[in-house]
Structure 1
Amino acid sequence: MDFQTFRQRQKNITIDGIIDEPVTVAYTDVGVGEPLLLLHGIPTWSFLFHEIIDPLSQRYRVIAPDLIGYGYSDHRDRFDRSIEVQADMIERFLDKLGIPAAHFVAHDIGGGVALILADRSPDLVRTMVLSNSVAYDSWPIDEMLQLGHPRNAKMDPEDVKQLMEEALDVGLSRPDRSTDEFRTGIAKPYLEPDGIVSLVRNAASLNTNHTTKLTDRINRLTQPTLLLWGVDDQWQPVSTAEQLVKDMPNAKLHAVENCSHWVPQDAPEEFTGAVLEFLDQVG
């Protein structure tokens, strides 16, 4: 799906309780069936899933929000964008949609959000697919630490484009998957002045303490979990997935060969097939 079609299909909802006035969340909501929530990471937005949403929606109600500060959700320079606050937002978001429980498919920092919710609101998280997710002290990576410096809020759009191009060169293994459509769509929300500031604030909010505090609780997370991992990832290596499999009582690893960090884009067919097979198995 191209950027324009994806963007036109997004809806908006307002969420209370994050700051002293409502924040706006942009999201996709398509299909019928059990709710399946897709959570992206940094520096992407829900467009990361543009090729897998429709296939998954043939069997599930697929809901893909932009985290606050990301994509086309609220960009205002007025709130914390940490994964703890993103977890608060997701709880309120699902409650407002009348969804008491969902399957979570989560990438990068979205995986950190899923782990937080699986721990503190276990009834909300039916199952988890964690794809090249942050966990333990695996993050933030050097590039995000550098991006988060306040001086970068004055970058111009060409600087942001260059940053995203360099990231995509590392985050995708398959040359045919590094399409102009994907590159353009992923960067688009962060090329306006407020988007540039928001991207920098997003990077500044990354806090490893929000997952290290879960380390001695990982073995209490009993949700069926699939670690769906691109093995070429230099940022969130497969060793993190291997440790999660050891520590989580109901987790298994599906390693994706010739695939780097952005698995939904690098290997969309294998990603979709693995998610559906896993959900079939866990019922």
Structure 2
Amino acid sequence: MLGLLDALDISNAHVVGNSLGGACALRMALDAPGRISALVLMGPGGVNTTRSLPTPGLKLLLDYYNGEGPTLAKITRFIREYLVYDGSQVSDEMIQERYEASIDPQVIAAPPLRRPIGIPRFSRWDFTRDSRLKHCQVPTLVLWGTEDKVNRPSGGEALRSRMPDCNLYLFGRTGHWVQWERADEFNAVTLAFLISRSAR
């Protein structure tokens, strides 16, 4: 992503990321804080507050491309039972769209998330162990659903307590997809945050 900014001749930018995208955004801020003017993270990955195994939702996600591979039944169960708080709100059309995206040949060739072979070393992806967090001055807004079954909501407080300029907003009765489940509030909070940072 930093290479993309270089290719587009963008010196710095606001970065918004959900889940794996949130982990990527946070890594960008730690690796090149001068390039990131503000950071918005929605249920980001890589924030392990328990040192325990992944959540049931994350296990399903990591196994999606294993075994029989992607199926409509697997993605339907993941989305309706683990991704959002109220699965009845997700249309069949949306699930079909997500399924078709997941079986794109280029995605199949290099899945973005997959359970590692052998003993997983999740500590490599644990930002709570990264000493750079306490020195990261990038203005950060963390948004998390209290009913997130993919990434533990306790990660929000872990980031807020470690980062010098970090605001935390928790959404009740909301799962992993804050930006979709609570779109109006998400847009309002995020826009206000980014405008306030742009005015500095």
Pair in the same fold by TM > 0.5: yes
Q: Does 1:232 align with 2:147?
A: yes
1:106 aligns with 2:17: yes
Describe how 1:30-109 pairs up with structure 2 within 5 A. 90-109=1-20
TM-score (norm 2): 0.81
Q: Bigger CA drift: 175-184 or 269-278?
A: 175-184
Question: How many positions carry a matched residue from both structures?
Answer: 187
Superposition CA RMSD, Å: 2.5
Once the two structures are superposed, what CA deviation does each residue of 1:199-229 show, in whole Å capped at 9, x if it has no partner?
3x63146963033485222111111111111
What's 1:46 paired with?
A: none
Q: Does 1:177 pair with 2:89?
A: yes
Q: What is aligned with 1:119?
A: 30
Q: Is the 8 A contact 1:118 1:125 kept in 2?
A: yes
Alignment of 1:85-234 (within 5 A): 90-137=1-48, 141-147=58-64, 149=66, 152=67, 155=69, 159-169=70-80, 170-175=82-87, 177-192=89-104, 195-199=107-111, 202-204=113-115, 208=122, 209-212=124-127, 215-234=130-149
Name the amino acid aligned to 1:255: L
Counterparts of 1:160 and 1:114 in 2: how far apart (Å)?
29
- CA distance in structure 1 between the partners assigned to 2:147 and 2:153 by the alignment: 8
| Structure having greater relative contact order (Cα 8 Å, sep ≥ 6) | 2
Q: Deviation at 1:185?
A: 1.9
**TM-score, normalized by length of structure 1?**
0.59
- Give the 3-state SS of the residue equivalent to 1:203 in structure 2: coil
Check if 1:250 corresponds to 2:165: yes
- How far apart are 1:271 and its partner, in Å? 1.1
Is the 2:72–2:99 Cα contact (8 Å) retained in structure 1? Answer: yes
How far the C-alpha of 1:176 sits from its partner, in A, is 5.8
Q: Distance in 2 between matches of 1:92 and 1:119?
A: 15
Residues 126/175 of structure 1: CA separation in 2 closer, same or farther (3 Å cut): same
Equivalent in the alignment of 1:267: 182
Runs of 4+ residues over 6 Å off in structure 1 = none
Structure 1 119/126 Cα, relative in aligned 2: closer, same or farther at 3 Å? same
How far does the alpha carbon of each residue in 1:111-150 deviate from its partner, in whole angstroms, 9 at most, with x for none? 111121111111111111110011333685322443464x
Structure 2 vs 1, CA of residues 220 and 144 (structure 1 numbering), >3 Å: closer, same or farther? same
Q: Which protein is richer in strand relative to its size?
A: 1
Taking structure 1 as reference, are residues 248 and 230 closer, same or farther at Cα in structure 2, changes over 3 Å only?
same
Report the 3-state secondary structure (helix = DSSP H, G, I; strand = E; otherwise coil) of the residue aligned with 1:164. helix
In the alignment, residue 161 of structure 1 is paired with which amino acid? L
Unaligned runs of 5+ in 1: 1-89
Letter in 2 for 1:117: M
Given that 2:48 and 2:155 are in contact with CA atoms closer than 8 Å, whether structure 1 keeps it comes out as no
